[in-house]
């Protein structure tokens, strides 16, 4: 059984990916330092798959610990690297915290394996800024990042691309996520925002359950069907399955180049008001919302061209916006009865 290391494996996308890797027959080792997740997620994963996975508590910024880890586990056949900070607002307040954490961890990992590694990297559609053409393809130029967080994704992609050019044993796939939402069908894992959620769907579910007041829709004067901003929302379980497809591609050495990039979205955009409506329709819950000003740094509309992922990775998103809303709501209700 091929062994896959998942860094940040107790986080939102990481935990769902761990489950899909296990379901696909992989042996999984998780690294996390719980900087933005809970140790309880390990029990939740066990409750889903019925097996306790190997776990190592480690801060990937600690170079000597990462080197020790690589010496102990020389035989991993791939790494999916999720461990990173991701809060846009916090990154503006504390840029060095973001640059240090997101770069040191990536560099330590590659160095520890002496640039001989199959690596899947978590990138973001944020690298496109407001694209000139929609749907945006992987060939679209990247735009100056709006935040240090976004900049860590852009620069990390460059670090990987440049390192791949001189390291024939380093094989990397960068996955550019659109807007990951939803939760596992068992409602045992999902997103766990710290404090007030900044992202739309966790705010919606917390508002509906009574933890927060009404939602504010950030802007209704955009050039879109109803004036609210458009994003390509993707179910986290679909996203998790794309990581398994990326690992398979790296294992099969099918790539044309040792550095590849793929968009992961559904290829369809939804406005904020469409998401609010989908939540109400699919859960039967009523949402209160206000219209507020635009949020600074937001783009008007973005959705992905997913032709390349479909043709080359053989992966397509299967779940729709109603599935995303229902599963996110079931998770919020689970959390109410089973607080973390």
Binding-site residue total for ligand UD1 (CB under 6 A)?
20
- Is residue 101 close enough to count as binding ligand UD1 by CB under 6 A? no
**How many angstroms separate the CA atoms of 28 and 14, rounded?**
11
Query: Which of residues 111 and 220 has its CB atom nearest to ligand UD1 in the complex?
Result: 220
Q: Give the residue among 74, 82, 76, 16 at the shortest CA–CA distance from 49.
A: 16
Segment 289 to 328, residues that bind ligand UD1, using CB under 6 A? 295, 297-298
Q: Please, are residues 101 and 61 in contact by the beta-carbon 8 Å criterion?
A: yes
What is the rounded CA–CA span in Å between residue 242 and residue 20? 9
Residue 99: active-site member? no
| Residue 231 engages ligand UD1 in binding (rule: CB under 6 A) | yes
Q: Establish whether the linkage from the previous residue to 143 is cis, with ω within 30° of 0.
A: no
- Residue 235 found at the interface with ligand UD1 (CB under 6 A): no
Q: How far is CA 1 from CA 25, 26, 28, 77, in A?
A: 7, 6, 10, 10
Q: Smallest distance from the beta carbon of 61 to ligand UD1, in angstroms?
A: 21
**Contact call for residue 88 and ligand UD1 (CB under 6 A):** yes
Is 127 a binder of ligand UD1 (CB under 6 A)?
no
- Taking the C-alpha atoms of residue 40 and residue 17, their distance in angstroms, rounded to an integer, is 16
Q: What is the closest distance, in whole angstroms, from the C-beta atom of residue 202 to ligand UD1 in the complex?
A: 8
263 Cα distance to chain centroid: 12
- Residue from 149, 222, 233, 334 carrying the catalytic annotation: 149
109 binds ligand UD1 (CB under 6 A): no
Span 250-269, contacts to ligand UD1 by CB under 6 A: none
* Partners of residue 123 on adjacent β-strands: 176
- Any contact of residue 126 with ligand UD1 (CB under 6 A)? yes
Under the binding rule (CB under 6 A), the answer on residue 86 touching ligand UD1 is: yes
The answer to whether the Cα torsion of 124, 130, 135, 139 is positive or negative is negative
Positive or negative: CA dihedral 35, 106, 179, 144: positive
Among 48, 58, 80, 229, binds ligand UD1 (CB under 6 A): 229
Which of 55, 47, 261, 20 is closest to 140 using CA atoms? 261
Asked if 42 touches ligand UD1 (CB under 6 A), the answer is no
Torsion of CA 9, 12, 13, 16, to 10 degrees: 70
- Report if residue 150 touches ligand UD1, rule: CB under 6 A: yes
Site for ligand UD1 in 166-195 (CB under 6 A): 179
Token pair for 57:
């508590």
Among 4, 29, 217, 239, interactor with ligand UD1 by CB under 6 A? 217
Residue 205 touching ligand UD1 (CB under 6 A): no
Residues lying near ligand UD1 in the complex (CB under 6 A) = 86, 88, 124, 126, 150, 179, 198-200, 203, 215-218, 229, 231, 272, 295, 297-298
Question: Which positions are annotated as active-site residues?
Answer: 149
């Amino acid at each position: 059984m091929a062994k896959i290391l998942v860094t940040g494996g107790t986080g939102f996308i990481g935990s769902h990916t761990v489950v899909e890797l296990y379901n696909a027959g992989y042996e999984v080792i998780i690294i996390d330092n719980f900087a933005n997740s809970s140790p309880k997620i390990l029990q939740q994963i066990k409750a889903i798959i019925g097996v306790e996975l190997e776990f190592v508590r480690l801060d990937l910024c600690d170079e000597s610990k990462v080197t020790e880890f690589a010496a102990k586990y020389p035989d991993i056949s791939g790494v999916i690297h999720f461990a990173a900070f991701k809060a846009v607002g916090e990154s503006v307040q504390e840029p060095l915290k973001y640059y240090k954490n997101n770069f040191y961890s990536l560099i330590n990992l590659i160095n520890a394996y002496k640039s001989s590694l199959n690596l899947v990297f978590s990138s973001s559609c944020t690298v496109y800024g407001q694209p000139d053409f929609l749907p945006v393809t992987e060939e679209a130029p990247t735009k100056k990042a709006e935040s240090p967080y976004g900049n860590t994704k852009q620069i990390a992609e460059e670090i990987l691309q440049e390192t791949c050019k001189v390291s024939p044993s380093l094989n990397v796939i960068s996955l550019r996520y659109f807007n990951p939402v939803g939760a596992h069908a068992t409602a045992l894992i999902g997103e766990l925002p710290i404090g007030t959620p900044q992202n739309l769907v966790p705010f919606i579910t917390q508002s509906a359950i009574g933890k927060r007041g009404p939602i504010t829709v950030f802007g209704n004067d955009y050039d879109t069907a109803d004036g609210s901003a458009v994003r390509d929302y993707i179910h986290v379980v679909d996203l998790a399955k794309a990581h398994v497809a990326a690992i398979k591609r790296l294992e099969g050495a099918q790539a044309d180049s040792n550095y590849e990039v793929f968009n992961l979205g559904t290829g369809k955009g939804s406005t904020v008001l469409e998401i609010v409506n989908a939540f109400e329709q699919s859960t039967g819950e009523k949402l209160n919302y206000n219209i507020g000003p635009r949020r600074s740094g937001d783009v008007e509309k973005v959705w992905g061209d997913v032709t390349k992922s479909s043709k080359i990775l053989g992966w397509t998103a299967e779940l729709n916006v109603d599935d995303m809303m229902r599963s996110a709501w079931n998770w919020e209700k689970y959390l109410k009865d089973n607080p973390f």
